[in-house]
Amino acid sequence: MDGEIITIRLMKQKMKTDLERKFIKNNSVSKEDFMAQFEAESMEITVEVRYCWHKGVSPFPLFGKESLASFDYLVPWLNDLEGPLGAFGKVFWFCKKSIFGYPYKPEFKVGRIYRLCVRPGRFTDMPRYRYFLLDEILEENVDLTRDDNVYRNALERYYKDTESEAVEMSVLIRRDIDIKNRKMNTQYSVNNVITAFKAVRFAGSGNARMIDGILEIPFDDRDFIGNRSIKLKAGSIIRITARRRTAREMENIYILDRLLETNIQDNELQKLSAEALVPGKWHIDGIGDFDVKNGEATGVILWDLSDNTSEVDVTLTCDRDNPKSVALATAHLIKVLGNKSSFERKIYDLMIEEFADANGMIVTWEGEKEGDVTLTKEEFISRLHISNLWLKPDGSGSVWIDLDEMFTDHAYAVDINADGTFETQGLMG
């Protein structure tokens, strides 16, 4: 029995070592050792090429007379980002470099979707990142527009953090909206048009009331959702059903469910929407003035008084009916600013814990090529700065960190708990 326990323990240790082992992507090992990083059995995958070699870029590493070519992929239509394909990854293949034409055949086109037979990597060195070794191209330029499951998955992901029941509400639209000719940012996914509203009337709730809210109108390239025909004029009042997002940092963000009626008459709602655009003021000695409206005091501060580029957008929550209650959140802001170095250190330590490998190094993906760049902890931290800070009366809130384009255009989000502890929310954007 003891022998069985020891064997199981050793197997678990080996599995843990394999998962934690850094994936080698260069020719510092032999071709045999490189290929040993992949499973023996093949699988079929469908991926979109995100980046591949083009003229002017450094050549791929050589293994003897063969080049180790690769492309980066995305799987924007998948719902399960933790599954076998992850959120993104890389596909490798060995080839003899051609003199004429594309040198690293087969040639993969950026933005095109391929169905491939591949061998999966046995481990990964980044969360949600996967590696594969190409066996065979099964289909080029795959068209998924007729696959209903693609759009169902995209919608499921889009509605993931929303309330299950839609509410009926009326809002005043503050901008012209015409979705018919709107271009898609990403194929096979849900895009949206966003408009703000300053007041709302919920069905059955009586009076209209001020809310600083956002309405998202989702659409897709195939019009699977059915919102492509929506056309609205700024200043018009619409009656809709919508689902509210549940994340704390997305309070009062609603996603259109159904457009019930347009150009309705509601004088009270129209008056409140206009009044909400006239802000009040809140002054904090030594910090500055904040605009107060719809239960929030917003302003810009200098995190480093000697650096005019260290601006931070600050939002302090207060009672909508008692703007002076912003004093409660103000006390927490003053506490944060009184010990900025400790505040930063706790947040940056959390980020290092997520991004750094066993040697304390961080691999970013940045630049026009969005290629891997390895940084020390010190180099990584030197490029961080706080860009946004939200605080509530109980001291809870959230903070966004500007990453200096180390992860393309993403920021990093951290939640602040009322007891002063922090919880990471990861990359945002």
pLDDT, position 229: 93
Do residues 280 and 303 make contact, with C-beta atoms less than 8 angstroms apart? no
CA separation for the pair 117, 134 (Å, rounded): 6
- With both helix axes pointing from N to C terminus, report the angle between 340-355 and 326-338 in degrees, rounded to the nearest 10: 80
Candidates 120, 143, 96, 142; CA nearest to 18 is 120
Do residues 82 and 110 make contact, with C-beta atoms less than 8 angstroms apart? no
Do residues 49 and 114 make contact, with C-beta atoms less than 8 angstroms apart? yes
What the block records as the tokens of 167 is 């509410």
User: Looking at the domain that runs over 148-275, which CATH code has it been given?
Assistant: 2.40.50
Which of helix, strand or coil describes residue 54?
coil
Cis peptide before 106 (omega within 30 of 0): yes
What the block records as the tokens of 312 is 């931070």
Q: What residues does each domain of the chain span?
A: 2-139, 148-275, 280-428
Q: What is the dihedral of CA 204, 210, 212, 213, to 10 degrees?
A: 20
Predicted confidence pLDDT, tens digits, the chain (429 residues):
454 444 444 444 444 445 456 788 889 999 999 999 999 999 999 999 999 998 888 899 999 999 999 999 988 776 566 667 777 899 999 999 988 889 999 999 998 999 999 999 998 777 778 999 999 999 999 988 888 888 888 888 888 889 999 999 999 999 999 999 888 776 777 899 999 998 899 998 878 887 878 999 999 888 999 999 999 999 999 999 999 999 877 778 999 999 999 999 999 999 888 877 776 888 888 898 999 887 899 999 999 888 888 899 999 998 876 777 888 999 999 999 999 999 999 999 999 988 888 888 888 887 666 667 888 989 988 989 999 999 999 999 999 999 888 888 888 999 999 998 998 888 886
Count how many Cα atoms sit within 13 Å of the Cα of residue 279 in the half-sphere of its side chain.
13
User: Looking at the domain that runs over 2-139, which CATH code has it been given?
Assistant: 2.40.50
What the block records as the tokens of 2 is 């003891």
b/e per residue, 233-259, with b = 16+ CB within 10 A?
eeeebbbbbbbbbeeeeebbbbbbbeb
Do residues 53 and 91 make contact, with C-beta atoms less than 8 angstroms apart? no
How many CB atoms lie under 10 A from the CB of residue 314?
Answer: 26
Q: Position 369: which residue type?
A: K
Q: What is the dihedral of CA 167, 170, 173, 174, to 10 degrees?
A: -100
Task: Collect all residues with Cβ–Cβ distance below 8 Å to 276 and sequence separation of at least 6.
Answer: 198, 199, 210, 212, 293, 294
Which of helix, strand or coil describes residue 313?
strand
How many CB atoms lie under 10 A from the CB of residue 54?
Answer: 9
Burial class (CB in 10 A: 0-12, 13-18, 19+), 297: buried
Longest CA–CA separation in the chain, Å: 80
Task: Collect all residues with Cβ–Cβ distance below 8 Å to 330 and sequence separation of at least 6.
Answer: 282, 284, 297, 316
Q: Is 2-139's fold the same as 148-275's? A: yes
pLDDT, position 78: 67
CA separation for the pair 414, 424 (Å, rounded): 4
